Structure 1
């Protein structure tokens, strides 16, 4: 056998050995496509994923009817694709879902809308689709259009985040200030604890010492948790907050003339601070702006807290000074309600 025939034979053998690899190379590629458009108060996100791979990741059959089970698909996507508008996470709602055929392969096409109150200055996309489940080699080709400027990036296992824009110092402070105010007004357990504290306050000086102690304590643990220096399981924190409500309400019910001391407010304030920090853990806080974000958020909490105290305490003093018997039962009655809420929350959170 001459040299030419040997090389010909080796070439044919190489061809047949690598033929299966080459014919399956493309079909084994894991690819996705994202087209994102940022508008005044909405973000439109068109996501394209291989249908078979999408079905495998969801551990279910995936046809057109299954794809239109938007609640399940939407929950799946929001758990793996996180969009932050100026640091605040926004959840997508599937407006349309369909199946297309691209290069003879079925592709799931989903159009999501993210609602916002105003146009964001900065968008962050955290993408975790398939990486940790079915396809570490997955890649998503992203095109984002913001303020008329388009940016392309490829998201991979080692590079899962896209950032566009830059949030200003003032916008960051305003946003977290507003978030702090909103958080205290929607944190009903914190409000009831503050009310229970006010029931045991005798003078303006006393209430100032209680509020100061509570503020100082929750500011300490809020900072420790936000900077990830101290972390406690959320179940323990939320259960302890419920217990603080129960304890303070019981003190007042057992002795209507009991006076709350600052150390009590400080001790329970440490626990409530971890509760305040829970919402910040869901946000994209950057190192350069973390201190200002934390300060603004805490200031918002204090403003909301001050507003509650300024409305409630004069009314509580009037009730205590009233000589009418029906009025005298208002505070004990409210204390019983606070105690009941605390008990319900404790059993819900602890068990």
Structure 2
């Protein structure tokens, strides 16, 4: 049975240190909650970013064939604007969602190809390969979003010692989207690999060293967590709901183990779940994990008490194990979200396995860094001003839960 243990006497009430801590805590709360709300409120149908998918394989006589998948609405607006073809923008917008999107691409093939040619290149031994389009563009649905597919042949001449793939498609400077990633899988020069190209790393070489390749995936893992507000809020909910350091580290580790499993399965193409299901579930998980902390405070009912459980083996009670189970379950779903963001769908290889493991290490390093920054001040606040800490935690949890529910409704409705 659990018992109620009185908090330290309210001698800190009104004390200057407590007030300072309260002000700092509320400022942090406001900053944490303002960012995701602003991000959610201003996101477009495809969010702030776009993903391009490129499959690059060796062909006969030194040729290289690329299959490009580009988000349809971003392509017609970017190409129409960059190539001074306003009719492409108008036709593409009119055809969007009608099932006849391909008509706009077929009506303006030169503008589309010119845009892609200027921003996606394959080079052999430092010399650019001549590009031609194979057949006509097609349109298909990718996770419920129209994508245009272009097949390109790169004439590289004689057999090359190494190839470089470079993409600057949909750059930030165009003002259409931000943070575009081009997910490349290649089978060239007797090597197979994958890379995520962006403004920081716009190109990949088949001669890239293993160490450089793994460091790139470590960076990608760190960036995906830092730029993913939903995952940041999930971690914040875990932190405010943890009594001890080992509670939050254990929960974060459980989360990492879970998302590593589904991330690997999804990246290998063994499991595929539509983002229409994954993204709302991720949002719901944020709300429920934050709500769990509020539910645990129910016994207080306005009194200055924390619930102190009777712990069992490993210093954990039934509620702790339940919380870990919930976190692990939602971690499985978050892994599908990470896999969808990275966009890798490839056959088994040791290179791919090591890349994905390093990607997860990058995620875990950022998680532990955030815990190291946020949890110690929270513990100090709980010791110096327990009432303030309690209210600050409740405000954070309530705000995170509200944002999670807002995102859940928004994503189920298909808005934003």
Q: Bin the TM-score by the shorter chain.
A: 0.5 to 0.7
Taking the TM superposition and a 5 Å limit, the aligned residue runs for 1:166-181 are: 166-181=207-222
**Distance change in 2, residues 1:347/1:139 (3 Å):** closer
1:208 has 2:249 as partner: yes
In the alignment, which residue of structure 2 is the partner of 1:344?
A: 406
Cα contact 1:241–1:272 (8 A) shared by 2: yes
Match of 2:155 among 138, 142, 146: 142
Higher relative CO (CA 8 A, sep ≥ 6), structure 1 or 2?
2
Partners of 1:217 and 1:187 in 2: CA distance: 18
Cα contact 1:143–1:150 (8 A) shared by 2: no
In the alignment, which residue of structure 2 is the partner of 1:228?
A: 269
Match of 1:68 among 76, 80, 84: 84
In the alignment, which residue of structure 1 is the partner of 2:374?
A: 312
Q: Deviations over 1:93-138 (max 9, x none)?
A: xxxxxx8xxxxxxx985562469xxxx99x999997535649xxx9
Residue 69 (structure 1) shift = 2.4
**Distance change in 2, residues 1:127/1:313 (3 Å):** farther
In the alignment, which residue of structure 2 is the partner of 1:294?
A: 356
Residue 175 (structure 1) shift = 0.4
In the alignment, which residue of structure 2 is the partner of 1:184?
A: 225
Partners of 2:392 and 2:129 in 1: CA distance: 50
In the alignment, which residue of structure 2 is the partner of 1:276?
A: 338
Rg larger in structure = 1
**Distance change in 2, residues 1:319/1:149 (3 Å):** closer
Q: Deviations over 1:278-309 (max 9, x none)?
A: 12325878835211111111111111111111
Partners of 1:124 and 1:299 in 2: CA distance: 36
| Coordinate RMSD, CA, aligned | 4.5
Where does the alignment leave 5 or more consecutive residues of structure 2 unmatched? 1-74, 93-109, 140-150, 165-185, 190-205, 298-305, 308-318
Q: When the two structures are aligned, how many residues end up with a matched partner?
A: 244
Partners of 1:279 and 1:171 in 2: CA distance: 21
Q: Deviations over 1:224-257 (max 9, x none)?
A: 1111111111111111111111111112223335
In the alignment, which residue of structure 2 is the partner of 1:17?
A: none
In the alignment, which residue of structure 2 is the partner of 1:303?
A: 365
In the alignment, which residue of structure 1 is the partner of 2:289?
A: 248
Cα contact 1:214–1:268 (8 A) shared by 2: yes
Residue 319 (structure 1) shift = 2.8
